Structure 1
Amino acid sequence: MPINLSKGQKIDLTKTNPGLSKITVGLGWDTNKYDGGGEFDLDVSVFCTNGAGKVASDKDFIFFNNPQNENGSVIHSGDNRTGAGDGDDEQIKVDLQSVPATTEKIAFTITIYEADTRNQNFGQVSNAYVRIVNDATNEELIRFDLGEDFSIETGVVVGELYRHGAEWKFSAIGSGYRDGLAGLVRDYGLQA
């Protein structure tokens, strides 16, 4: 039975699951009926940051066109352009023991592709969640349902894995961005 988190809650991941090393971070969502006629494409992006929350280079910004960090310890499974069907829409594989020591946080975000052009926002998205699965046992350890707190936002920081001494923890963030991917990229220290 997974532990269900609330916004702002933090939880030990490796301390309460000794030996945990390889995980899948699954993110999923549904889109409400949309009468604009355009596709509704949500994208997961990952920022591998230092303790100050900044990436060292473009290689630490993982998304469908840059599917892994430099040493392959964080890997994006690929772009799901429709979000159709049950289960995870996009997944990130993380080998916790191989994450470079310079990476202190791994932030998971969801943005809407071409949101401004298509006049789309997270008010039209429902059932968004993130979950962490132990790859060795296929057991779902943690789940965070984002709820319906967003209206005009086009990007969301869902949560982050972070180091606490020798252990990894997870923080359920659920923070919206009105300027989507451009705002996230800027705030995590890259040029938009």
Structure 2
Amino acid sequence: MVSLQKGQSVRLEKSGGGSLTRVAMGLGWDVRKAKGFFGKLVGGGGEIDLDASCLLFDAQGNLLDQVWFRQLSTRDGSIVHSGDNRTGAGDGDDEVIQVDLTRLPATVQTLLFTVNSFMGDSFDRIENAYCRLVDSTTGKEMARYDLTGAGSHTGQLMAKLTRNGDGWDMKALGERTSGRTFQDMMQTIRASL
């Protein structure tokens, strides 16, 4: 497993060599707990609704399709979202986007994964947030990126997968932005392609 820092890239390959066929991008988070007397007065804890999205772009930067809580599958079924988790409660991945790389149309050059706070809560209220890429055929975690970082932003570009010959590269983006849905973040998204 590779722990990525913002801006780092890694070539995605099976541990024994060969090309990946199916991957999953997992998103996990917890709500920051209120601390001390002052924390109890001003609140804290509660629920935060983070949403993972996957956007499919061609080589010219045209948006071909998207997967998010309002559209849980691409038109061709090559990418499927696990569904909306509105609280971040529990251990492990809170939302998962499954990608069958072998079924992606050849026109798809880039997959860009985003996370946003649908209710407008800032990342100041979030802790233990991460995205991770898993080889779905083996269950092995291939790369992880820590998303936690205080700030008034409500969205973040997590990572992008870019077609590279017969394989894929993953780049950790960590680009902070604002928006309740990926549509609100399109200016930052396009700049990251």
C-alpha change, 1:28 and 1:154, in structure 2 (3 Å) is: same
Q: TM (normalized to structure 2)?
A: 0.84
Query: Hey, what does 1:92 align to over in structure 2?
Result: 97
Distance in 2 of aligned mates of 1:42 and 1:102: 29
Give the counterpart letter for 2:58 in structure 1: N
Q: Give, in angstroms, the shift of residue 136 of structure 1.
A: 1.6
C-alpha deviations, 1:100-152, integer Å up to 9, x for none? Answer: 1111111111111121xxxx20111111111111122111111111231x411
**1:65 to partner: Cα distance:** 1.6
The separation in 1 between residues aligned to 2:30 and 2:97, in whole angstroms, is 19
Q: 2:157: which partner in 1?
A: 157
Q: 1:61-112 CA distances to partner (integer Å, 9 max, x unpaired)?
A: 2111211111111110111111001100100100111111111111111111
Aligned residue for 2:63, secondary structure, equals coil
**Counterparts of 1:37-186 in structure 2 under 5 Å?**
39-56=47-64, 60-115=65-120, 120-148=121-149, 150-181=150-181, 182-185=183-186
In 2 relative to 1, CA 188–50 (structure 1 residues): closer, same or farther, beyond 3 Å? farther
Q: Count the aligned residue pairs.
A: 180
CA gap of 1:186–1:66, structure 2 versus 1, over 3 A, is farther
Q: SS where residue 66 of structure 1 aligns?
A: coil
Contact 1:161/1:171 (8 A) holds in 2: yes
* Greater Rg over alpha carbons, structure: 2
- What CA distance in whole angstroms lies between the structure 1 residues aligned with 2:113 and 2:184? 14
Q: Please tell me whether the aligned partners of residues 22 and 134 of structure 1 are also in contact (alpha carbons under 8 angstroms).
A: yes
Q: How far apart, CA to CA, are the structure 1 residues paired with 2:172 and 2:45?
A: 33
The runs of 5 or more residues in structure 1 that have no matched partner are none
SS state at 1:171 partner: strand
Using the size of structure 1 for normalisation, the TM-score is 0.85
The alpha-carbon deviation at position 54 of structure 1 amounts to: 3.2
Q: Is the 8 A contact 2:24 2:136 kept in 1?
A: yes
Letter aligned with residue 129 of structure 2: A
Q: How many percent identity over aligned positions?
A: 38
